A and B are shown apart, each in its own frame.
Chain A
Amino acid sequence: MSKTPWWADENVWRKTAIWVTALMLVALILLTFDSVAKITAGSDRVPAYSVINHRIYYKMDNDRNMQVPVIGGQAPLFGTVLSEEQAQAMVSKGKMTVQAKNCMNCHTLLGNGAYYAPDLTKAWLDQGWGAEAVREQLMVNFLLDPEANARGYGTTRKMPDLDITEEEARAIIAFLKWMSAIDTNGFPRNFKPIAQEGE
């Protein structure tokens, strides 16, 4: 045993394993404190829920070399300006519906989920809704009866009927609008948003 060089010794490696793990964990915890503060709703990267009262644009940021969200003027969702609390309640209802309807096992959100249906990160800003003026109503109609309003773009894939109520549909749209304002470091790549007033 005495022949074992110190750098090949069992105890040395046990201590190394413990120290490496502890060090990495501490680093992760410190980074987590910082990151959690930076992704709390109302921060620069993740906007307050009342952002659904505003128009959301994207513009190229040459310094960061990526497209970044820009909060524009008033454009209240369904024509009603909401307080921060009301907006949070509505977005939360939408998020909860997205979970309860298991959307993530067909769609991706922020790129995570399943790949059977399109990514929802910027669904609010998708060109597929045609014109800004009719977008909200088209989205409600689609969620209430996805089969009749199928948007398969030449495929036969269509969303199933998930018994979404009108209140839930509106809440989902609030959630999608809020999510589209999150700064995702340029994901998805090259996104081309719908044309909006004031651009």
Chain B
Amino acid sequence: MMAQAVNQPMSQTAMRGKLNSAELNAGQRLAVKYFSVAIILFGAQILFGLLAGLQYLMPEFLYNVLDFNVNRMVHINAMIVWMLYGFIGSVYWLVEDESGTELVGAKLANLAFWVLTAAVTVVVIVYLLVQTGPGEQKSLWLINEGREYIEAPRWADFGIVAVVLVFFYNVAATFMKGRWSGISGVLVLDLIALAGLYLAGMFYSPNISMDQYWWWWVIHMWVEATWEVLVGCIMAWGLIKTLGARRKIVTTWLYIEVALMFGSGILGLGHHYFWIGTPEYWLSIGGFFSALEPIPLVAMVVHAVYDSGVHRFKNSNHPALAWLIAHAFGNFFGAGVWGFMHTLPQINLYTHGTQWSASHGHLAFFGAYATINIAMFYIAIQKWRGDVFMGAGIRHAWRWKWALALLNIGVVGMTVALLVSGYEQSFVERALQGSTWAGYFEAQRGEWFVQGMFWRQIFGYVTAAGTLLLVWDLITIGKGETRPAEKPTEHQAQAQAA
């Protein structure tokens, strides 16, 4: 597959710097569609986040028109869906390359894309215009299910499952026709788990404890297990392709990380079962496995340092690499540091259900998943423009650098501001006031809380500015660039380490 890249005809110089879908294989042409919708939904996430944030400061704003619950629902749903679009796109991007053959069922895959996109559009329009319904089954089937993160109405659940099955068929059949590798093996098994887990969220129960028990199977097993492994597969492929890392090593390390992540993450689910009516043994199980969850991160730190010294990588896509570095730090701080801060039950009893969770959520989702998807967008646009030069000295480099800076400063700023509010809330509401409604509102009125919310909004605007700049950069980067991309080469440094 690398030989393929090297042997690319040089006659394409004329097309370089222009969007040229002929440069892409069928999977990649589909991928850029998914990426385009992902970016639109990313914009929607930011927009509705700003509206919801503003309502903390001005509760009258859009009251009874576009209430907080609607804005917040669109904010988090747009996030989940754009990340899934990014993942699906990333897998389509690499599937032909990794399998060494053409995408199986490309027409069906295209149809599935349009069906899914149409369904997402209808769901969002219903969220915004119908908003809520009467307390009957048909509201859950047609309007929204009212369960955080997986609010999509039941009809859409079936649509999502159908589309995911098509996606799974495309990917698995392509690997079957072509060749399997360690990466594709992990990827396909992970996709089965990812799709299967969604079914755990597709039923109604009057019992809120039962409801939340299975709801966490979907949410936790997605974001703290299967999504992480999916990202691991994409990273593994990316390391081989863009840095020329060796497949055997990358694959071994993918297995090591899977063992560490699933080893700590599956029962790490226990940290969501402290307070929902589930038995007390979850306090011990959840606490213990949460303490193990930083281990995969420590492994990544050591391995990254080792790799940087043993190999001198020449990188051909600077914005993508910068976003991958942001991913490494974001994942470490968002999931590792911010997670462990309040995950143990003796602390979580105060922080659960306060702005602490919002603080952790903002940094972790951004650091672990937004960053890697943005890196993939840059990898895609480079190829789409005819494999153009995107190394040092690229034109208008300030755009991607400022987009990177603004987005990271914005999200970190929001995270810290929410942490200040969260601390005040857990202290005043829980510790001092006995967790009553009066205590809740006393905390919400507190000066530290209000200040935190104010600064969260300011940093929200910074994030929004970064997003706009990012979109502008993705549309324009490499336009008119005639230099070809540098080929990824790996120079073996002296094996000083032994």
Contacts and interface: CB of A to CB of B under 8 A. Distances in A.
A–B direct contact (CB < 8 Å): yes
Interface of A: 8-10, 13-14, 16-17, 20-21, 24-25, 27-28, 31-32, 34-36, 38-41, 45-46, 49, 64, 88, 91-106, 108-116, 118-119, 122-123, 126-128, 147, 151-158, 160-163, 165, 168, 171-172, 175, 179, 182-192
Interface residues of B, number: 89
Contact of B135 (A108, A157, A168): A168
Contacts of B340: none
B210 A39 contact: yes
B135 A152 contact: no
A187 B133 CA distance: 31
A40 B52 CA distance: 36
Contacts, number: 272
A36 B445 CA distance: 39
A94 B135 contact: yes
B55 interface: yes
- Which of B64, B69, B151, B182 has the largest number of chain A CB atoms within 10 A? B69
Nearest to B133: A100
Chain A to chain B: the 6 pairs with minimum beta-carbon distance, closest first: A97-B135, A99-B146, A111-B353, A153-B441, A192-B434, A187-B275
A94 B262 CA distance: 37
Nearest to B289: A24
A161 B132 CA distance: 11
B146 A188 contact: no
Contacts of A9: 252
28 contacts: A27-B266, A27-B267, A35-B273, A39-B207, A39-B209, A45-B277, A45-B279, A92-B206, A100-B143, A100-B146, A101-B146, A104-B69, A105-B69, A105-B148, A106-B72, A109-B208, A111-B353, A112-B276, A115-B353, A115-B357, A118-B441, A126-B436, A127-B438, A128-B437, A153-B442, A160-B64, A189-B350, A190-B434
Contacts of A160: 63-64, 67, 69
A188 B431 CA distance: 10
A88 B209 contact: no
B64 A161 contact: yes
Contacts of B442: 153
B266 A24 contact: yes
Contact of B277 (A39, A154, A156, A162): A39
Contacts of A158: 59, 63
A100 B73 CA distance: 13
- Which of A13, A36, A45, A103 has the largest number of chain B CB atoms within 10 A? A13
A115 B134 contact: no
A24 B69 contact: no
A171 B435 CA distance: 24
Given A17-B258, A45-B279, A105-B72, A118 B437 contact: yes
Contacts of B483: none
Given A96-B136, A155-B444, A188 B430 contact: yes
Contact of A179 (B68, B208, B433): B208
